[in-house]
Amino acid sequence: MDKPFAITLDIESSYSNHTGSWRTERPVYIDRLPPCNDACPAGENIQGWLHEAEEGKYENAWRILVRDNPMPGVHGRVCYHPCENACNRQQIDSAVSIHAVERFLGDQALKHGWKVEAGKDSGKKVAIIGAGPSGLSAAWHLRLMGHQVVIFEAGPMAGGMMRFGIPKYRLPREVLDEEISRICDLGVEIKLNSKIDDIPALMDEGFDAVFVAIGAHVARRTDIPARDAGTILDAVSVLQNVETGDTPPLLGRRVIVYGGGNTAFDTARTAKRLGASETMIVYRRNQEQMPAHDFEMHEAVDEGIMVRWLSTIKEIDDTSYKIEKMRLNDEGWPEPTGEFETIEADTLILALGQTTDSSFLEKLDGVEVERNGVVKVDESMMTGFPGVFAGGDMVPADRTVTTATGHGKLAARNIDAWMRGEKWQAGDRHEIAGFKHINPWYYTDAPKKLQPVLDIARRQSTFTEVVKGLDEDNALFEARRCLSCGNCFECDNCYGMCPDNSVIKLGPGKGFEFNYDFCKGCGLCAAECPCGAITMIKEPE
Amino acid sequence: MQQRVKYYQTGTFTVGNRLLDEEKRTVQATKERNNSLTCGHRACQGCGEALGARFAIDAAMNAVNNKLIAVNATGCLEVFSTPYPESSWRIPWIHSLFGNAPAVATGVAAALRARGETKTRVIAQGGDGGTVDIGFGCLSGMFERNDDVLYICYDNEAYMNTGVQRSSRTPPGARTATTPPVGEHPGNSYNQGKNPALIAMAHNIPYVATASVADLHDLEDKVEKAMSISGARYVHIHVPCPLGWGAKPSNTIRLARLAIETGLFPLFEAEDGEIVDTTPIRKQQPVDEYLKLQRRFAHILKDPLALETIQAMADRNISRFNLVREMEVTNNG
């Protein structure tokens, strides 16, 4: 018998049956915008640098980070991290401690001396006025693009509000100094004690464009009837004095800080450290309405700062302060109640906000200045005077270090385009990866790592940094809590769970492809993708 | 589902994980996997059985250095993988009848032994109909003789290939073509069911396990372990059927996962007739979370007594197999 015993079928003969023709929908790989990236005022690719950090590739992570923000050591400490408020992991347990990983990367960079190279010389020259976060950030980005940069700083030191507004216990000066000197190492010249009054004259010196980022340093005041006023200071000058003065300001034993913003709390905590045994914050609204962040208040209260909500200072008589209690009316505004109380204090510090002294800009044709000195800019950060851009606290926006840093980047891109006679265009924003796109089941249970905190006794008397960094193990752990929202992290679920072997694995870092010859469009890959990096679309005709 | 490593983003819950050493990832995560059941097969969209068969046979091939012969009972798997003249198998594979796969496998194993081919191993496989109903006599015989065969049953809880008729694995209350909910009749009767893994254990064979397409690491470990043992072995794999269960094809894994997390499909392992390990539930779910995704249960969702009865079945499994307990981390990276 030479016939086969049974019917035999050739191996892989099923390949002739292209089951892709069954499909009514097809899966496609997409990158959705992670909510952290979306929320970052500096436009950091947070998911992108966490992805590298997850593998322990800290230098790669840092290099991705500094493409958007030259000062991760500073931001990891002082940024109010809106990224974490947007983090999808909050719905599983708690947000990834993004700022703590950023700080770890920033500190690693300083420890290992990681540097970047300036871009090829463009032959263009930009003047920056103000060496605060916005100016420094703009300088960094302009140098990466190859432009020459000179920063003119009116003050005696670079750093702006990072130095004169944020106390040392939140931002140690070594970190600030080293991150600034890394920016200088790119070839940025900073001229200190150089106040600029005449911008057209500056442009005549050969600068192709000017970026003005002088911040908001002028303390807002209020009128309080005083028979015989005691010591009244403003928060900005107290903080500035602590930084520059040889002798710390004499505040006395009992200090009242008037205001409810972050500066008020920083000032109260500074007063405590300078020896004030009784430090009290007086604020006319309640806790929900205070502009300061909750953590600032909690840290302050832990250090023994008292807070009087719904209170205004009505009168001052030497060291006696007449406080009126307020109550909220139906619209939520504070109203006087007519109930008074007297408190004794040696010093009153006003922390009622700051304005900008932009009078030197008002002289320029086309520049519009609003009340409080806020300067109007268009969507390219340019003022009404061609070639003069502005950013940071002096333009309408949130007044934070991170927003200012973001302005610096945005201004640099626009200045670069403007000098070439072009207009900078932002890329298309992808759809945001919401929690509904996540398959949370797949993520391991991993409660957040807390950063160690300095003990209270030392916090009340020294300017040592209060919140400590994470060690490597914990930073790696935190990075690995990232859900990688909307961006493939190569978990192989699509590849493994396709019943039709229609996902092609391209290898590490290369991701996957669909084989539409055989994909039946069941949608299992999209349903089981943990991070929402696959979507189903209608099959094209 | 066991958390085998701590804190590696998705740990071992996903098929692969770039943060883990390669040997801690699954066979399915490798580029080199055998794809024993390859594309071009005619299984429905989102077929759990196609997935289960590739998972199990690839793991077995990997465990025995690609020296493997598979015998297939009649059923969905056989029909969709080998419509004449096509085959999607990339292994030596033989089909004979509906009920005789265990006996044919016994014969293949005997022939290999007679030829002195001690390295080549034999697997027999079939659906729940071919295994738990029609082939059960042959299967019991294979167990009793302790023939050197791993039998894998892909359980999709009815005769799906012929049009969704009830099998002895069809769960209580489920609608099938032969158990329609009509008047007082609730779909499939609320009987005691038939648990072939426990019956296999009663033969005191060396290895018995249940597995699910929703827990790939566990499934691969069990198949690998089964291939390291000689004698009769049985692995019972839960494979959702979108068509027969009235579910979205994209819900296949989710359903298999819910079957585990409700306690309705307990995962356990037994050696020589004794249970040696069970897999704890990671996030316990009430049974209606599982039932409501399937049209075969649509008619009982508003029947509190039916839901209570099914929940009681799940609870019984949970206590019997100790499924709700502190999750142990078996290996920290």
Helix (H) or strand (E) holding A63: helix A58-65
Cα dist from A81 to A207, A474, A492, B91, whole Å? 35, 19, 31, 55
Model confidence over B182-194: pLDDT tens digits? 988 888 988 878 9
CATH of the domain at A24: 3.30.70.20
Backbone angles phi, psi at A346, to 5 degrees: -85, -35
Looking up residue A159, the CATH number of its domain turns out to be 3.50.50.60
A402 lies in a domain? yes
Does a structural domain hold residue A120? no
Same-domain pairing of A238 and A338: yes
* Smallest Cα distance from B87 to chain A, Å: 5
Instruction: Evaluate if residue A316 carries a pLDDT over 80.
Output: yes
Task: Tell me the residues of chain B between 205 and 244 that have a Cβ less than 8 Å away from chain A.
Answer: 216, 242
Q: Quick one: CA dihedral A148, A154, A158, A159, positive or negative?
A: negative
The answer on A301 and A247 residing in a single domain is yes
Cβ distance A524 to B48 less than 8 Å, yes or no, reads: no
Q: Residue A430: inside a domain, yes or no? A: no
Of B8, B16, B48, the CB nearest to A496: B16
In angstroms, the first-to-last Cα distance of chain B is 17
Residue ranges covered by each domain of chain B: 22-320
Nearest chain B CA: its distance from A349 CA (Å): 47
**What does the pLDDT look like over B96-115, one tens digit per residue?**
999 999 999 999 999 999 99
DSSP A402-435: HHHHHHHHHHHHHHHHHHTT----PPPPPPB--G
Q: Which helix (H) or strand (E) holds A475?
A: helix A472-479
Which chain A residues touch B257 with a CB distance below 8 Å?
A: 441
Segment A162-183 mean pLDDT: 96
Give the integer Cα–Cα distance in Å for B317 and A184. Answer: 68
User: Do residues A140 and A188 lie in contact, with contact meaning Cβ atoms separated by under 8 Å?
Assistant: yes
ipTM score for this prediction: 0.95
**How many residues make up chain A in this entry?**
541
In this structure, the answer to whether residues A213 and A361 fall within a common structural domain is yes
Backbone dihedral region of B98: left (phi > 0), alpha (psi from -120 to 50 degrees) or beta? alpha
CA dist., res. A181 & res. A148, Å (int):
16
Q: A–B: how many Cβ contacts below 8 A?
A: 165
For residues A177 and A129, membership in a common domain is answered with: yes
Residue A170 DSSP label: T
DSSP B130: I
Same domain, yes or no: A26 and A43 = no
In this structure, are A363 and A410 located in the same domain?
yes
Chain B interface includes A116 (CB < 8 A): no
For the domain made up of B22-320, give the CATH fold.
Rossmann fold (3.40.50)
Please spell the DSSP secondary structure of B275-320, one letter per residue. Answer: EEEEPPPSS---HHHHHTT-GGGGGGTT-HHHHHHHHHHHHHHHHH
**A103 and A202 share one domain:** no
The answer for residues whose C-beta is within 8 angstroms of residue B322's C-beta and 6 or more apart is B278, B280
Window 54-113 of A: residues touching B by CB (8 A cutoff) are 54-55
Cβ–Cβ gap B40/A505 under 8 Å: no
Neighbouring-strand partners of residue B236: B153, B210
* Cα separation of the two ends of chain A: 52
**Chain B residues closer than 8 Å to A528 by CB:** 253-254
Mean pLDDT of chain B: 94
Q: Is A250 found in the same domain as A208?
A: no
> Do the chains contact at B43 and A499, CB–CB below 8 Å?
yes
What confidence tens digit (pLDDT) does each residue in B278-315 have? 999 999 999 999 999 999 999 999 899 999 999 999 99
> What are the Cα distances from residue A381, in Å, to A68, A226, A355?
17, 43, 19
Please list the alpha-helical segments (H only) found in A304-386. Answer: 359-362
pTM: 0.92
Q: Is A484 on the interface with B (CB under 8 A)?
A: yes
CA-wise closest residue to A165 among A351, A409, A300:
A351
Distance, CA of B190 to chain centre: 22
Q: Is the same domain home to A266 and A341?
A: yes
Helical ranges in A303-381 per DSSP H: 359-362
Shared domain for A142 and A207, answered yes or no, is yes
**Torsion angle in degrees (nearest 10) through CA of A149, A154, A158, A162:** -120
Total residues found in chain B within this entry: 333
Q: Which of B8, B50, B85 sits opposite A444 (nearest CB)?
A: B8
Is residue A522 less than 8 Å (CB to CB) from chain B?
Answer: yes
* Minimum distance, in Å, between the CA of residue B55 and any CA atom of chain A: 9
Contact A444 B40 (CB under 8 A): no
Nearest-CA residue of chain A relative to B327?
A445
Q: A93 and A148 in one domain?
A: no
pLDDT tier at B2, thresholds 50, 70, 90: low
pLDDT for A221: 84
Q: Does A11 touch chain B (CB under 8 A)?
A: yes
Query: Which range has the worst mean pLDDT, A223-237, A259-273, B40-54?
Result: A223-237
The verdict on A332 and A232 lying in the same domain is yes
Q: Which domain holds residue A148?
A: 125-217+356-419
A311 burial (CB, 10 Å; 0-12 / 13-18 / 19+) is buried
Name the domain count of chain A.
Answer: 4
